[in-house]
Amino acid sequence: MDLTFHTLENGIRLVHHPVKGMVAHCGLITETGSRDEGADEHGMVHFIEHMLFKGTKKRKAYHILSRLDDAGGELNAYTTKEETAIHASVLKEDFEKAIDLISDISYNSIFPEKEIAKEKDVVIDEINSYLDNPAELIFDDFEEMVFSNQPLGRNILGSPDTVKSFTRNKLFNFVARNYNTSQTVLCSVGNIPDKQVLHLFNKYFGSVAMKNGPKNKVKTGLYKPVTVTKVKDTWQNHCIIGNVAYNVKDKRRMGMFLLNNILGGQGLNSRLNLSLREKNGLAYNVESNFSPYRDTGIFSIYFGTDGQTLDRSISVTMSELNKLRKSGLGSVQLSKAKNQIKGYFARGYEHHESLMLSLGKSMLVFNRIDTLEDICRKTDDITSPELLEIANEVLDPSKLSILIYK
C-alpha cells in the first residue's frame, strides 16, 4: 500500500494514499468525543460540530455550505464518543478548496451568537426526532445502562436542558481544553501527487498553533450486569442483549470482530439471522455489534419482534450463544468465516471515502497503518480455541445485560 506520512511541528499528522480516479477524499479527525465532556457539557462536542459550519473569520455560513457543493462536492462531519471528524469528497481539481475549507472551519470558527441561538433549536429537534425512533434509541439507552453514571455511557446528542445552557464562551473554553494538535490527523485518498498533498498540508495546517493541554479522560468503572424493561408506546418489542468487551488495543479484538460477524454481522447467513428470521420468522431486523473504545468495549445483539414472540426470540438467541460457547468451529467453518470477513475488509478498502476515514482513525489510535494484507494475515492467525475462549468470556449468560422496550 502506497502511503505518505508527515508530522508538522505543531503535532498534526498526515496520511495520504494515492489512488486513480476523478474524486478525492480528505478529512480531519481529532481524538475528542462526547466521553470528554463534563456532566454540564453533555452534547457539547456534537453541538460544536454543528457550529463549525456557521461562520469563520473570513466566511459566513452560506459560503461554507456552498463552497464545495457548488462544484458538486460534499462537506460533512460526525461526532462519536471518542472522535470528531470533518471530511469532504470533491473532484480532484477541487482538492485544495476542500483542504482550505476544512482548515478554516476547524481553526477559525467564530461561533456567532445568532447562529448559536438558532442551532440550539435545530439540535433539540434532532434529539426529539431520535426519541421517536426506538430502534436507534435503545442502543444509547443500553450503553447508558452498561456504563452507568459514566461519561462513556451518555449519548452523543445531549439533552434539551444541557444544549440550552451552551454559550459562546463555553464553546470556546471546551475547544481550548480538548482539541489538541498532537491528537489530530489529516487523512486523504485520491489521485493527488504526494508533493502537492505535502505542500497543501504545510500551507493550511503548518501555521496552526501547537496545543496539547490536559483532557477530561475519565476511565470506565466496574461493570455489573443488569436486566431492565421499559414500557414504550411501540408496535414492536425491541431487545438488546450484551456485555462489556475488549478495548481498541486488545489483541483479542480481531477474534471478537470475527465472532461478532459469525453471530450477527452483515451477512444474511449470520447465525442469528438464520435462526431468528429465516428458520423461525421471529424478527425482521436482527444484528450484533462490537464497538471497541480506548479503555473498554461493548458487544450487543439487537432484534425487534412481536410482543408475543419476545420470550421465544430471547430463548433462540441464548441458544445460539450457548452453541458458540460449547462447540469450537471446525476447520471448514472457521475458513468460511475468515474468508467472509476478509471479503468485507477488501470491499471497505475499495470504498475510498471509508478507507480515508479508516486510515485517519488508525493513525489517531495506533500511529500506524495496517495494510489489507496485514489485516488478512491477522485474521488467518485466529484459531478455533481462541474464539471459544472469547465466546466463553463475552457471551457468558451470567455477565449479559438485557434491555427491553415493550
| Domains along the chain with CATH numbers | 4-205 (3.30.830.10), 227-405 (3.30.830.10)
Grid coordinates of 171: 464553546
Q: Please report where in the chains the cell 476544512 appears, as a residue.
A: 102
Which ranges in 95-193 belong to alpha helices (H)?
95-107, 113-131, 134-146, 160-164, 168-178
**In whole angstroms, what is the distance from residue 309 CA to residue 238 CA?**
11
Joined together, the cell numbers standing for residue 286 give 436482527
In the chain, DSSP finds a helix count (H) and a strand count (E) of 15, 11
In the block, which residue shows the cell 471478537? 256
pLDDT of residue 219: 74
The length of the chain in residues reads: 406
Strands 227-230 and 237-245: unpaired
Return the pLDDT at 270. 96
Rounded to two decimals, the pTM is 0.94
Beta-bridge mates of residue 190: 18
Nearest to 138 by CA among 285, 29, 252: 285
pLDDT for residue 333: 95
Strands 23-30 and 74-79: unpaired
Which amino acid, 384? S
| Burial of 381 from C-beta contacts in 10 A (0-12 / 13-18 / 19+) | exposed
Measured CA to CA, the distance from residue 338 to residue 206 in angstroms comes to 43
- Asked whether 372 and 1 are in contact (CB, 8 A), the reply is yes
Report the pLDDT value the prediction gives residue 32, as an integer from 0 to 100: 97
What is the β-pairing status of strands 13-18 and 184-190?
A: parallel
User: CB neighbours of 385 closer than 8 A, spacing ≥ 6?
Assistant: 328
* C-alpha R_g of the chain: 22
Q: Could you tell me what percent of the chain has a pLDDT over 70?
A: 99
Q: Which DSSP string corresponds to 156-173?
A: SS--HHHHHT--HHHHHH
Give the separation between CA 16 and CA 13, rounded to whole angstroms: 10
Residues of the chain where predicted confidence (pLDDT) is lower than 50: none
pLDDT of amino acid 217: 66
Give residue 313's pLDDT: 97
Q: What is the pLDDT of residues 210-248, one digit of tens each?
A: 998 777 666 788 899 999 999 988 889 999 999 999 999
95 grid coordinates? 482538492
Which residues face 187 on adjacent strands? 15, 27
Query: From residue 38, how far is each of 7, 177, 214, 346 by CA, in Å?
Result: 31, 12, 14, 39
Q: What's the confidence (pLDDT) of residue 185?
A: 98
Burial (CB count within 10 angstroms: exposed 0-12, middle 13-18, buried 19+), residue 85: buried
